[in-house]
Amino acid sequence: MTTTENTTPLLPGAALVVGIRSLLIWAIIASAVMGTFLRGTHQSCSGGIATDGQGFITNDGSPSDIEPRCGVATLSPSPLVFLLLAAIVVGTLTLILRRAVDEDHAFRILNNARMAIVILTLVAMAVGWIAVMTLRVDDWSSYAVFSPQPFAQFEVESWLLTQR
């Protein structure tokens, strides 16, 4: 006796729901990856304390009476990149509802959205890492930091050498 196996899903469109769930999981994982790995710091001082303890020195080692400043720039993901990920998910669902003519078309839209999430994540991480790796501040009393918006942002803090 042969048995026939019922392969039809219990819910019409269940495969599409699985695709949407997959899209949400990709967006959540991308957010977690960026939140975890898109970090970096650059810290330096524009001089130091003289060996006799009575004065200060500049970056080139010459004596100075002006107390040098120190600072730190901390890189973190921008909230805008998380909004972009959410916009991709919501926009994809809207596009499926408005334009998809069949399941295959809906799956192509979902696959394109997953690819957009991957590309956005990789670009954000690359831009952020390049920004923090190329950051050089020699004088914390007068500096400019390029913030790679919308992918990442810098938080900058500076202080006098003897304040910490």
* 56 strand-pairing partners: 49, 64
3 assigned to some structural domain:
no
Mean pLDDT, the chain, rounded, equals 90
At 38 the pLDDT is 95
Whether residue 54 has pLDDT greater than 70: yes
62 assigned to some structural domain:
no
At 12 the pLDDT is 83
Cα-Cα-Cα-Cα dihedral sign, residues 45, 73, 138, 134: positive
64 assigned to some structural domain:
no
At 64 the pLDDT is 87
How many Cβ atoms are within 10 Å of 66's Cβ, its own excluded? 11
Number of structural domains (the chain) is 1
pTM strictly above 0.95: no
68 assigned to some structural domain:
no
At 49 the pLDDT is 87
128 assigned to some structural domain:
yes
Q: Identify the domain containing residue 87 by its residue range.
A: 15-46+75-163
96-117 pLDDT, tens digit each: 999 999 999 999 999 999 999 9
Amino acid symbol at 123: V
